[in-house]
Chain A
Amino acid sequence: MQGYFTQRLLLTIPTFIGITLLVFVLTRLVPGGPIERMLAEAQLASGTASSVSDGFGSQSLSEDQLDQLKAYYGFDQPIITSYFQWLWKVVQLDLGESTRYGESVWDTITERLPISIFYGVTTMILTYLLCIPLGIFKALKHGAPFDHISSAIVFISYAIPGYVIGIACIAYFAANLEWFPLGGFVGDEFEYLSTWDKIIDILHHATLPLIAYMAGSLAVMTFMMKNSLMENLSADYVRTATAKGLSFKQAITRHALRNSLIPLATHFGQNISVILSGSFLIEKIFNIDGIGLLGYEALVERDYPVVMGILVISALLYLIGNILSDLCVAWADPRIRFGEKR
């Protein structure tokens, strides 16, 4: 088992290099970049003042300055060389500087990461807390009115994209009823509140976004739980358990339940990476300054150091998430023992 996980961990290194190299090369190959963007901005600023008649020649930067900038960003080097320069910096935990803000990418990301982690982890916990009991209940009440009604609700929430649900929630609960704030992670007076009120404030702001986040994953998890439990309820070993003298309830809690949690365990690791990277649409709607929004804006603004920085973190999360999934499955299912010789 240990050997297997060491192997998996070592394999993450080439995978990581593969992912980052691919995106790095792409950022170089697509037209446009930080320098072009700066030029465009500078031109816009001066263009309004001077006439356009000068045409292309009247660049606000000289060739020398351009070369300096290129050298500064490492654009004067061949792609592979500058990739490995970048990689070497990453190994030293230096993700470079944002071309937009001039701030360290590491700081920019870590500033927003707690917000995304808060939403990600809360969504995940709430989803599990809601979906597992709901799935179990639906499996036991299969075919009853409750089952049909909850299925309908869950499927509707699955069919509507999370950001649409977010907008609907804002329009009704925030704008119309004014039960919840319109957006943001915390209120304006956050700094002056007591600890308890701070928690309340965060939760108050988080309610609507969390609904939007959860809406999509609800269906998948609930039905995974329901189907998996129903499959196990008709399994032979549950019949064996009742033939031993267990009541139906005991047969479920002691035998069927753990078996039906196995597929959910497989899903666990992937969930981590997916929700930590957040959804920029929901973040945008609720004006939450999280990783999703940062990544989206960085892409639009060709802020490649930030793009690569976010990629580094989400790739690592994904790789670790996959290994965690394996661990979870091995923990839940004794039939799976990785790398052991039979």
Chain B
Amino acid sequence: MSKALLTVSDLCVDFETEHGVLNVLDHVSFNLYPGKTLGLVGESGCGKSVTSLALMKLLQKPYGCIRAGSILFKGQDLVQCDAKQMQDLRGNRIAMIFQDPMTALNPVKTIGSQIVEVFNLHRQELTKKERYQCALEMLRKVGISDAQFRMAEFPHQLSGGMRQRVMIAIALSCEPDILIADEPTTALDVTIQAQILDLMQDLQKENGMAMLFITHDLGVIAELCDDVAVMYAGRVIEKASVIDLFSQAKHPYTKGLLDSIPQLFNDGKGALKTIEGQVPSLLNMPTGCRFRNRCQYSQQDCKSLDHNLDTHSENHQINCKHWREIKDA
């Protein structure tokens, strides 16, 4: 495998709240490779979005802060970067697409001015006219018809799918090395989802950028990603290639997730499978394995599990003490 473009190692993020310090991310590590897509999957509140915001260093101060770990991007540790350096990177080398295109665009500015703004920030060598032309070109690239006309329109005049295309145009304007997509299709209906995913894949092939794709939709993961990291309660609990993950998941949580997917060929009777219990609150997280209170295989020594991943193969790692003993159903 080629050299990693971005290496996140042992990233810990704490949130300061009225109830005390919450450990939201616990030693999260993963790599992003050029031209490849890493899917980050997990249920709501497991730290997916916090991870993406931490990479951009957009955590809301003073509540969220990176306590430990490093984010190496082209030999530069983003954790150590100051505000100015991050501003140069954001939107330029690392770009981000957000979940809800209905609110992610400024309602009182035209589509055109919001795209041109990126060029104003990062491509100051271009003339005003060139910036406009580049923005127009981007709109065409993301498949918006009548681009010239749309440039002068406001976000409310566009449909949800079109707005997400505009968001993608903004994110990809400077041909970033890394694109972080935080549930970009969750707010869209299914046909539009497919279009947007196709578009993102096409643009990735063109640019060769690395993509971090955050979702809780396993179907989207299967379609789009090369590798997958499964998160649970602030920890990465299993990392594998997408094929390994779907064919031979090892962690009991991942197995539970996969079992919870409704099967098309069932007779449609009987209750849907679920994982028993609830995610523990961040305020009283169990020691050791964070999943052990819901895990049917949990044993005494699960209390002493740390954040380290056990290696199954080079590409497949599991944060569990007993994964070898668990037989496939």
Which A residues are closer than 8 A to B by beta carbons?
235-237, 239-247, 254-255, 258-259, 262, 332-335
Contacts and interface: CB of A to CB of B under 8 A. Distances in A.
B90 A243 contact: yes
Contact of A237 (B88, B92, B105, B118): B105
A189 to B, nearest CB: 52
27 contacts: A235-B103, A236-B103, A237-B104, A237-B106, A239-B104, A240-B104, A240-B170, A241-B106, A241-B117, A243-B56, A243-B58, A244-B90, A244-B117, A244-B118, A244-B170, A245-B87, A245-B90, A247-B87, A254-B117, A258-B108, A259-B106, A259-B107, A259-B108, A332-B108, A334-B154, A335-B107, A335-B154
Given A244-B118, A247-B83, A333 B108 contact: yes
Chief secondary structure at chain A's binding surface: helix
Interface in B97-124: 98, 100, 103-109, 117-118, 121-122
A244 B91 contact: yes
Contacts of A332: 108
B147 interface: no
Given A245-B89, A255-B106, 12 more contacts: A235-B103, A236-B98, A236-B104, A237-B103, A240-B98, A240-B170, A241-B117, A243-B96, A244-B91, A245-B122, A246-B121, A333-B107
A242 B90 contact: yes
Given A244-B90, A244-B117, A245-B91, A334 B107 contact: yes
B181 to A, nearest CB: 12
Contacts of B91: 243-245
B312 to A, nearest CB: 36
Contact of B58 (A235, A239, A247, A254): A239
Nearest to A261: B108
B136 interface: no
Interface string B144-174: 0000000000101000000000010011000
B118 A240 contact: no
A246 B122 CA distance: 10
A239 B167 CA distance: 12
7 tightest Cβ-Cβ pairs between the two chains A and B: A245-B91, A244-B91, A236-B103, A245-B90, A237-B106, A243-B96, A236-B104
A335 B109 CA distance: 10
Contacts of A240: 98, 104-106, 167, 170
A244 B121 contact: yes
Of the listed residues B92, B98, B100, B122, the one surrounded by the most CB atoms of chain A closer than 10 A to its CB is B98
Nearest to B156: A335
A302 to B, nearest CB: 51
Of the listed residues B58, B100, B117, B154, the one surrounded by the most CB atoms of chain A closer than 10 A to its CB is B117
A280 B284 CA distance: 62
A237 B58 contact: no
A259 B105 CA distance: 12
Chief secondary structure at chain B's binding surface: mixed
Nearest to B109: A255
B210 to A, nearest CB: 17
A259 B156 CA distance: 14
Given A244-B90, A245-B90, A259-B106, A239 B98 contact: yes
Contact of B121 (A236, A245, A334): A245
Contacts of A258: 108
A334 B103 CA distance: 15
B107 A242 contact: no
Contacts of A254: 117
Nearest to A251: B106
A99 B170 CA distance: 70
Contacts of A335: 107-108, 154, 156
B95 interface: yes
A332 B106 CA distance: 13
Nearest to B110: A334
Given A243-B56, A245-B122, A334 B104 contact: no
A242 B87 CA distance: 8
Interface string B127-147: 000000000000000000000
Contacts of A333: 107-108
Nearest to B122: A245
A167 to B, nearest CB: 43
Contacts of A237: 103-107
A243 B89 CA distance: 9
Contacts of A244: 90-91, 117-118, 121, 170
A131 B199 CA distance: 47
A139 to B, nearest CB: 14
A245 B118 contact: yes
A244 B108 CA distance: 17
Contacts of A235: 103
B299 to A, nearest CB: 43
Contacts of B170: 240, 244
A245 B88 CA distance: 6
B28 to A, nearest CB: 20
Contacts of A247: 83, 87
A258 B58 CA distance: 22
B95 to A, nearest CB: 7
Contacts of A243: 56, 58, 90-91, 95-96, 98, 171
A236 B108 contact: no
A228 to B, nearest CB: 13
A238 B104 CA distance: 8
Interface in B76-94: 83, 87-92
